[in-house]
């Protein structure tokens, strides 16, 4: 492969065979067919089938398949069908929402699709970016997004912003000269790169690499991979492994004891052993859990989308709820991503700029800018020593943010750049250089002489000045002035302002003597202001126990000032660390210090990835925001990667959530939605396992009945009953718990409440109390009907129905651990109310439908039987209301 930057323009053109007139349409079509479109090759995100199959990557799904297989083996076709329908339904719901998220992301990208100007057959034509091929001659103008990696053929003060690729925000001046082969990517100034932007000037390039072969494409394929597992996947799989272990052990022991050792002497036949064994297996598995989790997360996706957070992977919803550290970039997320003039230093005097930009403030007093001598001169230099421009079609400003801020501010006073540029045309210039840190333009003064306009870093500009303008007069620049300038510069920097100095030299006959003899006009402090809703969002995050860490490439003083204004730095949490310090500290020292740092300044993309790794190593759940290609590694490494809607495609592909409005407040809203989803999943767990555990107790009591009753009692709960309760009557209610309203105190709880095990202490307490109470009550009904000497069908129907109605009351109990159901509204969740109604209707069908009587082995209940069933089942609701009454008075029996 050719090393393009080391070749001359002539050699590059010779290899490409397209200069100077560009490719023919036929040749372009051939190359498009040969090399493919100018796009990244996506990994596993285009097929609906792939998304569908991804829904089955869970151990609990595997256990359900096993239960269905056992049912088929025993010829229980109905049970197997019910399980398979559940699994397919769950997968379809998950596919719908994940694929919708992918489609929304594609739509977002489609809105951002670019077109470029290329030479084809000697004619300038417009083609979509994806149709650019190797060898295309591309015309570059200010504001253009570069569509491919290319070698510069022509450069007229062409400068590109490569921050999306390198993280360095200073525009790079491009040349046509060939360069040494050993030059690093950042030093290949005769190359331009896909995904970067033309900040000023114009030029021509020839495309040398497209699609996945570009520098951005290489990075994409290095870092784009699925997370090994989301924390929710880990929790569910860990929980499923434990469940499988207990189920297999219990069923194995059951078959050994009751099938071979004790079974024959106790009167068990093998059919009974299999029926009880399958019933036990089905009771162990929470069949409704996968679909409840999927629907809960799907609801979270919809809620987050309304709050400008597009979720690309369902399980990221629950994960973000447990985040305890958010690493956030400053620019664009905390700030509005637009520079503004905030402070001026003119004629040895400081002025601040209020929101109403029509005047200045001096010591709190209003000043008319036109009364401040030197203000007009300062503005003139600001807009003449300036490369920003306006797009002719859209009117949008193009260029460096600070230069745009200068032009916008001057326009408030009818000082229009275009008019000044016509009156004082530019005759020459010295472009900004990272080492020299200044820019000079030589403009006509309207007569036969030139005025030199200088701007740059204060220390550089002041060093080139011999004079200072004071009230319109040039005065010798003395030691006291230098001290004042240094003091003002430091003060502005500590306020989070980026400071530039401005100077001019008049009546110059030629371009000689550019480096000295200037008169200092003043200093201007710029700031990318904080978003108005960020301080409140940070307070919410802090109240939620979330540590917000700001990561920026800005100067330490600037970072500190913004962090203090936002509320990230406080009296108790004020540690700041620079990228240089990260490089100098040992791993042991970093492990000790990083958890206490609130601001990282002057960091690179490598530092970001290292910070994420250090935080994860200390068991934090980390969210990371980013928008550039250079952020992709850190986004991919974090538990939850959060990209910005205005960011690069690579950053979006590496992320799990996209903030379509780029706003930190939307991220905090997303965390709250994640906590809401996590809470509702646990409510469903309480509900599901209360019955499952009671069923296990009930079946064990019957198995052991020869011990305490002297003979084997009849099996009142068949596997089909357990499945009907767990999937049909429960299934109408468990999913509706996913629609429970958001609790008021979600953002005042610790993150560990949401990042801990699924089977948390609260869930365990609820399940233990509920299942014991439920088992005792159902078993009492069972014994009561046995003693009445009624038919086995009626016994089964009474037990089966009591169990089903217990679950309806238990659904209300699971909604809250402290508050009375009546205080939140018994019917406030209309979906749950409808679910309970559907469950009752389904249970009535099970009792009174002749068809289901045969399948379920049930009999119709009489009015007296209903009194027993309803009295027994409602007792659990009364019992829990009493427990909650004591919880509200300080007891910690349920909530812990």
Cβ pair 372, 346 in contact under 8 A: yes
Half-sphere exposure of 632 (CA within 13 A, CB side): 25
Q: What is the mean pLDDT of residues 343-370?
A: 93
Provide the pLDDT for residue 21: 87
Interval 780-805 mean pLDDT: 94
Task: Report pLDDT for 226.
Answer: 47
So what's the pLDDT on residue 94? 66
Task: Decide if 735 contacts 835 (C-beta within 8 A).
Answer: yes
CA dihedral 467, 473, 479, 484 (to 10 degrees): -110
Question: Which has the closest alpha carbon to 601: 633, 569, 570, 571?
Answer: 569
Note the pLDDT of residue 134.
95
C-beta of residue 877 within 8 angstroms of C-beta of residue 884: no
* CB contact at 8 A, 180 and 13: no
Give the ranges where 624-663 is alpha helix by DSSP (H): 632-637, 649-654
Determine the Cα angle at 670 with ends 667 and 675, to 5°. Answer: 135
CA 858/CA 513 separation, integer angstroms: 105
Which sequence spans correspond to the domains of the chain? 4-44+114-223, 48-111, 231-307+674-887, 340-527
> pLDDT value at position 511?
82
Backbone torsions φ then ψ of 106, nearest 5 degrees: -65, -40
Angle between helices 664-703 and 761-787 (to 10 degrees): 30
Instruction: Name the H helices within 704-791.
Output: 705-709, 719-723, 731-734, 752-755, 761-787
CATH number of 231-307+674-887: 1.20.1110.10
Based on the residue annotation, tell me whether 329 is a catalytic residue of this protein. Answer: yes
DSSP one-letter string for 356-384: STTSEEETTEEE-GGGSTTHHHHHHHHHH
pLDDT band at 745 (very low <50, low <70, confident <90, very high): confident
Q: Predicted confidence band at 699 (pLDDT cuts at 50, 70, 90)?
A: confident
Predicted pLDDT at 108: 47
Of 329, 554, 637, 669, the catalytic one is: 329
Residues 6+ apart with CB under 8 A from 414: none
Angle at 736 between CA 735 and CA 740, to 5 degrees: 125
- What is the Cα–Cα distance from 216 to 813, expressed in whole angstroms? 54
Centroid of chain to Cα 541: 15
Alpha-carbon distance of 817 to 887, in angstroms, equals 8
Structure tokens belonging to residue 204: 């021509």
Name beta bridge partners: 328. Answer: 550
Distance CA 434, CA 470 (A): 30
Quickly list DSSP for 135-197. Answer: T-EEEEETTPBP-SEEEEEEEEEEEEE-HHHHS--S-EE-------TT--GGG-TTEE-TT-E
Q: What is the pLDDT of residues 77-105, one digit of tens each?
A: 776 777 787 678 767 866 775 666 566 55
Give pLDDT, residue 111: 46
More confident residue, 779 or 40: 779
> Under a CB-based contact definition with an 8 Å cutoff, are residues 22 and 197 in contact?
no
Range 181-206 average pLDDT? 88
SS3 460: helix
Work out the average pLDDT over 618-635.
88
Q: Give the residue with greater pLDDT, 851 vs 254.
A: 851
pLDDT at 798 over 90: yes
Token couple for 554: 């800005």
- pLDDT of 794 > 90? The answer is yes
Strand 597-601, strand 309-311: pairing: unpaired
Above pLDDT 90, what percent of the chain? Answer: 45
Structure tokens, 250: 């219990």
* Strand-pair partners of 456: 438, 501
H or E element, residue 309: strand 309-311
**What is the per-residue pLDDT for 581?**
92
Under the banding of pLDDT at 50, 70 and 90, the label for residue 112 is very low
Beta carbons of 888 and 817 less than 8 angstroms apart: no
Dig out the tokens for 63 from the structure.
């256990």
Q: What is the mean pLDDT of the chain?
A: 85
Its sign, for the CA torsion 390, 395, 398, 402, is positive
CB 520 within 8 Å of CB 501: yes
Specify the pTM: 0.75
pLDDT at residue number 102? 60
CATH architecture label of 340-527? 3-Layer(aba) Sandwich (3.40)
φ and ψ at residue 327, rounded to 5 degrees: -95, 115
Give the confidence band of 210 by pLDDT, cuts at 50, 70, 90.
Answer: very high
Residues in CB range of 3: below 8 A, 6 or more apart: 181
Q: Is the pLDDT of residue 269 over 70?
A: no
End-to-end CA distance of the chain: 66
Classified by CATH at the fold level, domain 4-44+114-223 comes out as: 2.70.150
Taking residues 795-820, report their average pLDDT.
92
Number of C-beta neighbours around residue 65 at 10 A: 15
Distance CA 342, CA 529 (A): 9
Give the pLDDT mean for 696-713: 79
Of 99-108, 491-500, 803-812, 820-829, which range is least confident? 99-108
How confident is the model over 502-523, as a mean pLDDT? Answer: 91
- Find residue 346's DSSP bridge partners: 349, 522
Query: 239: Cβ–Cβ under 8 A, 6 or more apart, which residues?
Result: 60, 757, 758, 759
Q: Using an 8 Å Cβ cutoff, are 876 and 694 in contact?
A: no
pLDDT tens sequence across 837-893: 999 999 999 999 999 999 888 999 999 999 999 999 999 999 999 999 988 887 766
- Lowest mean pLDDT across 218-227, 736-745, 746-755, 861-870: 218-227
Range of 50-64, 475-489, 709-723 with top mean pLDDT? 475-489
Q: What is the pLDDT of residues 489-508, one digit of tens each?
A: 999 988 888 899 999 999 88
pLDDT at 284 (0 to 100): 64
């Amino acid at each position: 492969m050719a090393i393009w930057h080391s070749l001359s323009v002539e050699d590059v053109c010779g290899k490409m065979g397209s200069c100077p007139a560009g490719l023919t349409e036929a040749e372009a079509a051939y190359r498009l067919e040969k090399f493919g479109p100018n796009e990244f090759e996506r990994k596993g995100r285009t097929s609906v089938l792939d998304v569908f199959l991804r829904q089955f990557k869970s151990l609990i799904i595997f256990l359900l398949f096993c239960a269905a297989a056992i049912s088929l083996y025993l010829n229980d076709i109905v049970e197997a069908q019910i399980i398979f329908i559940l699994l397919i339904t769950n997968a379809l719901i998950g596919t719908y929402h994940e694929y919708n998220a992918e489609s929304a992301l594609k739509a977002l990208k489609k809105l951002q699709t670019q077109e470029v100007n290329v030479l084809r057959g000697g004619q300038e034509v417009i083609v979509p970016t994806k149709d650019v091929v190797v060898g295309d001659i591309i015309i570059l103008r200010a504001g253009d997004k570069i569509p491919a990696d290319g070698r510069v053929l022509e450069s007229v003060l062409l400068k590109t912003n490569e921050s999306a690729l390198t993280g360095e925000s200073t525009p790079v001046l491009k040349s046509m000269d060939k360069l040494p082969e050993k030059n690093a990517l950042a030093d290949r100034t005769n190359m331009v790169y896909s995904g970067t932007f033309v900040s000023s000037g114009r030029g021509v390039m020839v495309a040398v690499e497209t699609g996945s072969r570009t520098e951005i494409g290489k990075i994409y394929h290095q870092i784009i991979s699925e997370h090994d597992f989301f924390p929710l996947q880990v929790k569910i799989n860990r929980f499923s492994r434990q469940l499988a272990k207990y189920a297999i052990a219990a069923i194995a022991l059951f078959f050994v004891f009751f099938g071979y050792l004790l079974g024959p002497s106790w009167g068990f036949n093998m059919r009974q052993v299999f029926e009880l064994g399958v019933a036990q297996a089905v009771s162990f598995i929470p069949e409704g859990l996968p679909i409840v989790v999927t629907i809960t997360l799907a609801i979270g996706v919809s809620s987050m989308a309304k709050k400008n957070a597009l979720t690309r992977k369902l399980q990221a919803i629950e994960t973000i709820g447990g985040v305890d550290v958010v690493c956030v970039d400053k620019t664009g997320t905390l700030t509005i991503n637009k520079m503004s003039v905030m402070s001026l230093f003119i004629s040895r005097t400081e002025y601040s700029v209020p929101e109403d930009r029509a005047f200045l403030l001096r010591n709190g007093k209003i000043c008319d800018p036109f009364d401040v001598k030197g203000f007009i001169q300062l503005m003139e230099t600001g807009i003449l020593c300036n490369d920003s421009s306006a797009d002719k079609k859209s009117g949008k400003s193009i260029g460096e943010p600070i230069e745009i801020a200068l032009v916008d501010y001057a326009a408030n006073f009818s000082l229009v750049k275009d008019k000044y540029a016509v009156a004082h045309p530019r005759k020459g210039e010295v472009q900004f250089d990272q080492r020299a840190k200044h820019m000079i333009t030589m403009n006509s003064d309207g007569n036969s002489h030139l005025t030199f306009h200088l701007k740059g870093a204060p220390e550089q500009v002041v060093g080139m000045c011999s004079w200072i303008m004071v009230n319109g007069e040039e005065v010798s620049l003395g030691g006291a002035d230098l001290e004042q300038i240094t003091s003002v510069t430091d003060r502005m920097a500590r306020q989070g302002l980026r400071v530039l100095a401005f100077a001019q030299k008049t009546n110059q006959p030629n371009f000689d003597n550019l480096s000295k003899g200037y008169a200092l006009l003043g200093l201007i402090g710029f700031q990318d202001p904080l978003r108005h809703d960020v301080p409140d969002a940070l307070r919410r995050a802090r109240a939620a126990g979330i540590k917000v860490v700001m990561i920026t490439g800005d100067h330490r003083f600037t970072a500190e000032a913004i962090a203090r204004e936002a509320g990230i730095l406080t009296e108790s949490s004020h540690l700041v660390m620079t990228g240089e310090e990260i490089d100098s500290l040992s791993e042991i020292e970093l492990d000790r210090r990083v958890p206490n740092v609130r601001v990282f300044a002057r960091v690179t993309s490598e530092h970001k990835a290292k910070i994420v790794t250090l935080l994860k190593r200390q068991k934090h759940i980390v969210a990371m925001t980013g928008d550039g290609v250079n952020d992709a590694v850190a986004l991919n490494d974090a538990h939850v990667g959060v990209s910005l809607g205005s960011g690069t495609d690579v950053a979006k592909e590496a992320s799990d959530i996209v903030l379509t409005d780029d706003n930190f407040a939307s991220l905090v809203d997303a965390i709250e939605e994640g906590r809401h989803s996590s809470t509702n999943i646990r409510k469903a767990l309480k509900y599901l396992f209360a019955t499952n555990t009671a069923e296990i107790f009930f079946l064990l009591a019957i198995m052991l009945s020869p011990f305490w009753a002297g003979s084997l009692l009849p099996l009142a709960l068949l596997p089909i009953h357990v499945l009907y309760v767990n999937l049909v009557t429960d299934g109408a209610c468990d999913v509706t718990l996913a629609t429970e309203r958001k609790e008021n105190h979600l953002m005042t709880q610790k993150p560990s409440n949401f990042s801990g095990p699924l089977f948390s202490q609260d869930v365990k307490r609820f399940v233990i109390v509920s299942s014991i109470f439920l088992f005792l009550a159902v078993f009492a009904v069972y014994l009561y009907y046995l003693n009445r000497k009624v038919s086995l069908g009626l016994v089964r129907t009474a037990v089966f129905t009591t169990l089903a109605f217990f679950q309806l009351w238990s659904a209300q109990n699971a909604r809250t651990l402290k508050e009375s159901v009546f205080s939140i509204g018994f019917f406030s969740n209309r979906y749950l109310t409808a679910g309970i109604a559907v469950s009752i209707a389904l249970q009535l069908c099970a009792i009174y439908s002749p068809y289901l009587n045969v399948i379920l082995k049930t009999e119709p209940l009489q009015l007296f039987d209903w009194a027993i069933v309803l009295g027994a089942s409602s007792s659990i609701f009364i019992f829990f209301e009493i427990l909650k009454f004591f919880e509200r008075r300080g007891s910690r029996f349920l909530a812990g």
